[in-house]
Amino acid sequence: MANYQIPSWVIFSIFAVLASQYFSGSHSASILNSIAIAALLAGSLRFVMLIGELNFAIAAFVGIGAYSAGVATTMLDISFFLAILTSGVAASLISMVFGSITLRSGGPYFLLIGFAFTEAMRIVYSKTDVLGQTSGMVGIFPPIEFDDWLSLFVIIICLGLLFLMYVIEKSQFGTIFKSIRDNSDVTRTVGINVLYWKVVCFAIASFCAGIAGALQAFVNNVISPGDFGYLLAVFALAYVKVGGESSIAGSILGAIFLVVLSEFALALGAGEHIFYGAAIVIAVLFMREGIVGLVSSTISWITKTRASKEERV
């Protein structure tokens, strides 16, 4: 049976929760929130990589989620939890329509259209009156009772969704997704509807992206079209590549590493763009397996040298 690595997840979650209680100052809490949301975005981007596609429309779905949360909270007075859920569902539904057209083409076509979709959605936000046009929406507050617990809540939701994606990846659905990436023709010949499952995978990832958007809206209280440009997708890609795309742990590690490092870098005065750009270029050119790959090759190197030492002795 599948091994879900439950102990690792539990230990990591306890650390995360403790961290949220320890770093309760507003600045460090906001870093924790950024890390959690960044990890969720990376997980979502990576989830679509399971079917072999690079989803640059992710920024659009984060935006859709954030604006849904904004509309639900400031205009429709929908409750906090329901607003978050609505965001995920809205992003997911739109992604089904978008995906069932663009995933037919797949490959570079899907990638580039996703990029264009992100830009198009930005125009939609900035031209729609009720969405506040270019100045965006303000006053997206979580309920007052959540003031002290927001960080904890964000962390729990993000970890929960990451775990959900992990479980799906390990399940037989994950097998179907990966086989589509590996060899879609063979997958087709055993009676599996490839387009259907591609859309399912995409819709799940977009659900998570939508929720991430809603969380971001509640954390920042303000959203504007500029927050949901393609850079968001590029950052998510940086987390995935730097952390290592072979496992979901890589996405989480990449998010932690880059968000924390960029805090220091920005404090030293370097531009955010240069920092992330350099991180991606370095990761792609020099560490193809990311941090996770470095760690595991270091471990195997250590065990190997030990073994050879023992042999010599």
Partner 1 sequence: MNSEQTPLLSGRQLERRFGGLLAVSELDIDLYPGEILGLIGPNGAGKSTTFNLLSGFYPPTGGELYVMGERCTGKSPTKISRKGLVRTFQHGSLMPSMSVRDNILLGTMHQLSGRRRIERIARTEETAEMLGLSAFLEEVAGVLPHGLQRLVSIGIAFASRPKILCLDEPLTGLNHTEASSALHVFERIRGEFGCSILLVEHNMKAVMKICDRMVVLHHGKPIAAGRAEDIQSNEEVISIYLGRLDDE
Partner 2 sequence: MELVFQLLITTLQISAVYILFSLGLTLIFGVMQIVNFAHGHYFAISALVVVYLMPWLVEAGFPASAAYILSGLIGIAAAVLVGLATYQFGFRHFQRDMVGSFILSVGFVLLFDGLFLESFGGASRSVPSIVEGTVSVFGAAITGQRLLLCFAAILTAFALYLVLMKSKLGSALRAVSIDQEAAMLQGVPYNKIAFSGFLLAAGLAGIAGALIAPVSIVTPAIGADYIVKGFIAVIIGGLGSIPGAVIGALFVAFVEAFGGYYYGASTATLAIFFLVIAFLLFKPKGLFGNG
**Residues in touch with partner 1 (CB under 8 A):** 172, 175-176, 178-179, 182-183, 185-194
CB of 49 to partner 1, least distance (A): 12
By a kind-dependent CB cut-off of 5 to 8 A, residue 231 interacts, out of partner 1, partner 2, none, with partner 2
By a kind-dependent CB cut-off of 5 to 8 A, residue 193 interacts, out of partner 2, partner 1, none, with partner 1
By a kind-dependent CB cut-off of 5 to 8 A, residue 306 interacts, out of partner 2, partner 1, none, with none
Residues 46/245, Cβ–Cβ less than 8 Å: yes
CB of 190 to partner 1, least distance (A): 5
By a kind-dependent CB cut-off of 5 to 8 A, residue 178 interacts, out of partner 2, partner 1, none, with partner 1
CB of 99 to partner 1, least distance (A): 18
Of 183 and 300, the one with the shorter C-beta distance to partner 1 is 183
CB of 176 to partner 1, least distance (A): 6
By a kind-dependent CB cut-off of 5 to 8 A, residue 179 interacts, out of partner 2, partner 1, none, with partner 1
Separation of alpha carbons 84 and 72, rounded Å: 9
Of 17 and 178, the one with the shorter C-beta distance to partner 1 is 178
CB of 50 to partner 1, least distance (A): 11
Separation of alpha carbons 44 and 208, rounded Å: 6
By a kind-dependent CB cut-off of 5 to 8 A, residue 134 interacts, out of partner 1, partner 2, none, with none
By a kind-dependent CB cut-off of 5 to 8 A, residue 89 interacts, out of partner 1, partner 2, none, with none
CB of 102 to partner 2, least distance (A): 6
CB of 61 to partner 2, least distance (A): 15
By a kind-dependent CB cut-off of 5 to 8 A, residue 271 interacts, out of partner 2, partner 1, none, with partner 2
Of 84 and 198, the one with the shorter C-beta distance to partner 2 is 198
Instruction: Provide the token pair at 102.
Output: 């663009």
Q: Which residue has the tokens 């950024």?
A: 34
CB of 159 to partner 2, least distance (A): 26
Of 185 and 311, the one with the shorter C-beta distance to partner 1 is 185
Positions touching partner 2 (CB under 8 A) are: 54, 98, 101-102, 104-105, 107-109, 111-113, 115-117, 119-120, 123-124, 126-127, 230-231, 234, 237-238, 241, 271-281, 283-285
Separation of alpha carbons 219 and 217, rounded Å: 5
Instruction: Provide the token pair at 224.
Output: 């504007």
Separation of alpha carbons 216 and 227, rounded Å: 10
Of 194 and 208, the one with the shorter C-beta distance to partner 1 is 194
Separation of alpha carbons 116 and 257, rounded Å: 29
